[in-house]
């Protein structure tokens, strides 16, 4: 095990032990002072009611128009409490328009751990820039268009800072207030020493604590952010982070909210992978046409998971082959680096009943991640059989030097519509 990983694990374990002892103390106090409470319903983790102020997502454009002119920014306003369904609600919002790589302006007092982690991971999958700030809607102009303003004076508290970590690029302005504290059952926060905690509560809270520690490291944050949060019990005021701490914990990685995104070493495809065309990115939900000219093709993104845990992301493209009656398959992935010398040694793609070995172009560590690219050229007949099959499927399997195997089934939604169109455009 690497030394830095050992430090992270030791810190997380120590925090979990402190939390377990604190819960035991609270439980003992509650029983000794009021045994009748044992007959009550214990508070449940993440059972957050869907209040009117639950987080909403809205696409907005900067205004007034006469002030920003032709340089008006656009962004996604995300404001309100984080509830267990917030991640799924954002995924549904993302299906309504192409938002990959865009800016999210986030303001939240926190909420559910499960919803927050899901939202942060959704932000990372879509390569979002996350900015802490407030969106204020302006009155509609004479044409009926309603625009918005951005201000850096906003509060991001509790689970919100961990959601910020999900951004591929993150901006926390000096005017924003970042507040952290321990996770705790919402129903017990008002009087945590008097509440009753079941063994199930303790187990669920320790599991959530472990998930947050792992997520913090996974998203490229410093474990110090997790540690600072877990030091503040529910009967104390939330702790505000200083600007030095915001920078040190990597909660903020860019200096301006609407800076043009740099090539992100974690999320961006390497040179040669098809670029977006007309703003259309390769999507998670379906196959889409991307690229132009010689780089015209179809593509699809997908989370890279191992036993349900997300460890990275992948992109598969199908393009016209260089030789007549051929098509080129290309696979790109980025994942957490298991060890300094780890590489992907084998990759295979399944197209219906066909099993196609992929040649590894490269597999190397980049900015603490393992990036790998593989390809193969197949006869057009292989792809034609895929479309004609009643059991059409596209799958990719990999094997690393450290003997880690992944197998991802992408599905074929949209492929039957875009692949025939690509075939017509192929010069051969």
Q: What is the pLDDT of residues 63-76, one digit of tens each?
A: 998 888 888 999 99
Position 266 pLDDT exceeds 50: no
**CA 8 to centroid of chain Cα atoms:** 21
pLDDT-based confidence at 313, cuts 50/70/90?
confident
- Please report whether residue 94 resides in a domain: yes
Note the pLDDT of residue 284: 73
Shared domain for 213 and 357, answered yes or no, is no
Range 110-120 average pLDDT? 93
- Please report whether residue 20 resides in a domain: no
Residue 164 three-state SS: helix
pTM: 0.55
- Please report whether residue 297 resides in a domain: yes
Note the pLDDT of residue 296: 80
Q: How far apart are CA 54 and CA 86, in angstroms?
A: 8
Position 427 pLDDT exceeds 80: no
Q: At 348, list the tokens.
A: 């295979």
Q: State the sign of the Cα–Cα–Cα–Cα dihedral 242, 246, 248, 249.
A: positive
**CA 227 to centroid of chain Cα atoms:** 21
Which range has the worst mean pLDDT, 62-66, 303-307, 344-348? 303-307
Note the pLDDT of residue 290: 79
Closest C-alpha among 8, 3, 6, 1 to residue 220? 8
Q: Is there a contact between 223 and 217 (Cβ–Cβ < 8 Å)? A: yes
Position 250 pLDDT exceeds 60: yes
Shared domain for 316 and 210, answered yes or no, is no
Placement of tokens 């998930």 in the chain: 211
Range 1-23 average pLDDT? 46
pLDDT above 90 as % of the chain: 36
Closest C-alpha among 184, 207, 210 to residue 197? 184
Query: The CATH number of the domain where 412 resides is what?
Result: 2.60.40.10
Query: The CATH number of the domain where 137 resides is what?
Result: 3.90.226.10
Overall number of domains in the chain = 2
Shared domain for 244 and 295, answered yes or no, is no
C-alpha pair distances (Å), 42 with each of 32, 187, 415? 16, 9, 49
- Please report whether residue 244 resides in a domain: yes
Placement of tokens 């479309």 in the chain: 387
Note the pLDDT of residue 88: 94
Q: Side by side, which strands form the sheet with 326-336?
A: 288-290, 297-306, 309-320, 326-336, 369-379, 354-366, 344-351, 394-400, 405-409
Which range has the worst mean pLDDT, 38-42, 193-197, 283-287, 322-326? 38-42
C-alpha pair distances (Å), 273 with each of 251, 282, 293, 301? 29, 11, 14, 12
- Please report whether residue 261 resides in a domain: no
Which range has the worst mean pLDDT, 174-178, 196-200, 263-267, 329-333? 263-267
Q: What is the DSSP letter of 62?
A: B
pLDDT-based confidence at 381, cuts 50/70/90?
confident
Q: At 98, list the tokens.
A: 């192409």
Q: How far apart are CA 86 and CA 118, in angstroms?
A: 8
Q: Which of 220, 248, 276 is the last residue of a domain?
A: 248
Q: How far apart are CA 408 and CA 13, in angstroms?
A: 32
Phi and psi at residue 136, to the nearest 5°: -120, 120
Range 54-63 average pLDDT? 95
Shared domain for 202 and 322, answered yes or no, is no
pLDDT-based confidence at 301, cuts 50/70/90?
confident
Range 97-113 average pLDDT? 91
Shared domain for 299 and 411, answered yes or no, is yes
Q: How far apart are CA 219 and CA 162, in angstroms?
A: 9
Which range has the worst mean pLDDT, 44-48, 49-53, 90-94, 251-255? 44-48
Shared domain for 239 and 295, answered yes or no, is no
Which range has the worst mean pLDDT, 92-106, 110-124, 139-153, 409-423? 409-423
Could you list the residue range(s) of the whole structural domain that residue 294 is in?
288-425
Q: Mean pLDDT score of the chain, rounded to an integer?
A: 79
């Amino acid at each position: 095990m690497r030394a830095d990983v050992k430090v992270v694990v030791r810190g997380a374990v120590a925090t979990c032990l402190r939390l377990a002892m604190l819960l035991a103390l609270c439980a003992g106090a509650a029983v000794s002072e009021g045994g009748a409470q044992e007959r009550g319903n214990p508070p449940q983790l993440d059972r957050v009611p869907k209040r009117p102020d639950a987080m909403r997502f809205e696409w907005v454009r900067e205004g007034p128009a006469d002030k920003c002119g032709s340089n008006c920014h656009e962004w996604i306003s995300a404001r309100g409490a984080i509830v267990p369904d917030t991640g799924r609600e954002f995924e549904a919002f993302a299906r309504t328009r192409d938002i990959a790589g865009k800016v999210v302006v986030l303001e939240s007092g926190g909420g559910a751990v499960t919803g927050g982690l899901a939202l942060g991971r959704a932000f990372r999958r879509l390569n979002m820039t996350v900015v802490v700030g407030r969106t204020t809607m302006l009155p509609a102009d004479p044409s009926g268009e309603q625009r918005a303003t951005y201000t850096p004076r906003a509060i991001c508290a509790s689970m919100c800072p961990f959601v910020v970590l999900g951004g591929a690029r993150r901006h926390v302005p000096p005017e924003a207030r970042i507040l952290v504290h321990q996770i705790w059952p919402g129903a017990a926060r008002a009087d945590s020493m008097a509440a009753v905690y079941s063994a199930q509560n303790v187990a669920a809270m320790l599991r959530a604590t472990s998930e947050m520690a792992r997520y913090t490291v996974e998203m490229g944050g410093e474990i110090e952010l997790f540690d600072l949060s877990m030091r503040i019990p529910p009967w104390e005021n939330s702790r505000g982070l200083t600007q030095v701490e915001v920078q040190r914990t990597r909660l903020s990685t860019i200096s301006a909210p609407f800076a043009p995104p740099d090539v992100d070493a974690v999320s961006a495809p390497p040179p040669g992978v098809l670029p977006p065309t007309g703003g259309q990115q390769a999507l998670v939900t379906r196959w889409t046409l991307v690229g132009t000219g010689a780089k015209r093709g179809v593509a699809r993104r997908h989370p890279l998971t191992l036993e349900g845990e997300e460890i990275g992301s992948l992109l598969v493209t199908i393009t016209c082959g260089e030789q007549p009656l051929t098509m080129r398959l290309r696979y790109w992935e980025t994942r957490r680096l298991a060890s300094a010398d780890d590489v992907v040694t084998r990759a295979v793609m399944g197209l219906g009943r066909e099993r196609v070995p992929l040649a590894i172009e490269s597999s190397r560590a980049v900015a603490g991640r393992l990036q790998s690219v593989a390809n193969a050229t197949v006869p057009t007949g292989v792809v034609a059989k895929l479309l004609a099959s009643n059991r059409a499927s596209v799958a990719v399997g990999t094997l690393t030097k450290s003997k880690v195997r992944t197998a991802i089934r992408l599905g074929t939604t949209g492929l039957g519509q875009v692949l025939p169109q690509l075939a017509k455009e192929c010069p051969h």
